[in-house]
Structure 1
Amino acid sequence: MGRARTYEWEDPSITAAAVGSTSGLDFLRAIQAGRLPGPPITATLDFTLDEVNEGRVVFAITPGEEHYNPIGSVHGGVYATLLDSAAGCAVQSTLPPGMGYTSLDLTVKFLKRITADTGRVRAIGTVVSRGRQTALAEARLIDAQERLLAHATSSCMLFAVPTSTT
């Protein structure tokens, strides 16, 4: 009667320890290439980091019923996770070695319903403005026909990554 899904992930402390050791762009490219483990959330929701360029990243997901809310469509938290990931990683892709970021806020506008019938969707994150201490990014969630499904903006705080004292 029930449905089941299993998945695996790697130790997230490996990737977390690498933050700031290279540029943000090189860090994200290492994750994309599999040289660093991806974050567990990508396994949990089954989405991928498809493109990484300075100031722009793209995540993709093929929605399934495992992403549904009680009313039979993809849960808003899935939208938000994809948009937050795209916006935040777009900012990260601009950072020099020794710098990190954290999201300060995320404002999401849900525009269209997503179901398993929607097919693969992409979250495209781009940097709007980056200063020394904060950055502003946006992300668009689009379907294969380039229709806008959701939009988000995010403010991020930039900071020096503490160095190891080993």
Structure 2
Amino acid sequence: MPRSRTYTWEDPGTTASAVGGTAGLEFMRDVLAGRLPAPPFAATLGTVLEEVGPGHAVFTLVPGEEHYNPLGTVHGGVFATLLDSAAGCAVHTLLPAGMAYTSLDLTVKFLRPVTAASGRIRAVGSVLSSGRRTALAEARMYDAEDRLLAHATSSCMIFPAPASTPASAPAPASTSG
């Protein structure tokens, strides 16, 4: 029996152009409050940023069969995405204005299977160490009964945010000499 799922998202350029324009915690609070749109992957998977604080970020997901692998459980890539998001966004909260980050690696340990019957799951990210060029973060994933489902560590590279043109700004006029 075929199933379908429809979803929408906003222009990712709006949020991308804001990276580095404010301190990381302010940026993440703007995403949380809806002043900046969530990235498209959040709509695709159904993840929700639920909480941010200094060195801390929490994402949630209500698993459904659209997340299943051929074995009838939530695919490990969905776990990895939630854990990477929680760890990386925890790092982002500590960045000063003008800086950005990217994940260098992600090591995941899967501890329990998840199905649609598992209920809402949450990934809790926290920064373990943060320097000028790198940060180390971890994330733990829990089910509705606070059982640990998975654990991850992530190394992140910190670098100056690339200069970008705001999404709503007009393109510069061309001149000829």
User: Bigger radius of gyration, 1 or 2?
Assistant: 2
Shift of residue 162, structure 1, vs aligned partner: 2.8
Aligned residue for 2:58, secondary structure, equals: strand
CA displacement 1:100-121 (0-9 Å, x = unmatched):
0000000000000000010000
SS at structure 1 position matched to 2:74: coil
- Partner of 2:133 in structure 1? 133
| Deviation, structure 1 residue 124 | 0.1
> Helix, strand or coil for the counterpart of 2:112?
coil
Distance 1:161 1:27 in 2: 13
Please, what is the CA RMSD of the aligned residues?
A: 1.0
- For normalisation by structure 1, the TM-score amounts to 0.98
In structure 2, distance between residues paired with 1:102 and 1:91: 10
Q: How many residues align?
A: 166
What residue number does 1:151 align with? Answer: 151
Partners of 2:67 and 2:162 lie apart in 1 by 36
Cα–Cα, structure 1 residues 74 and 164, in superposed 2: closer, same or farther, change >3 Å? closer
Please give the alpha-carbon distance, in whole angstroms, between the structure 2 residues aligned to 1:34 and 1:162: 23
* Structure 2 residue aligned with 1:25: 25
Q: 1:114 is matched with which residue?
A: 114
CA distance in 2, matches of 1:97, 1:6: 36
State whether structure 2 residue 118 is matched by structure 1 residue 93: no
Task: Write the distance in 2 (CA, Å) between the matches of 1:70 and 1:161.
Answer: 40
In the alignment, structure 1 segments of 5+ residues that lack a partner are none
> Quick one: distance in 2 between partners of 1:14 and 1:163?
14
CA displacement at 1:164 relative to structure 2: 4.6
For residue 18 of structure 1, give the secondary structure of its aligned residue in structure 2.
Answer: coil
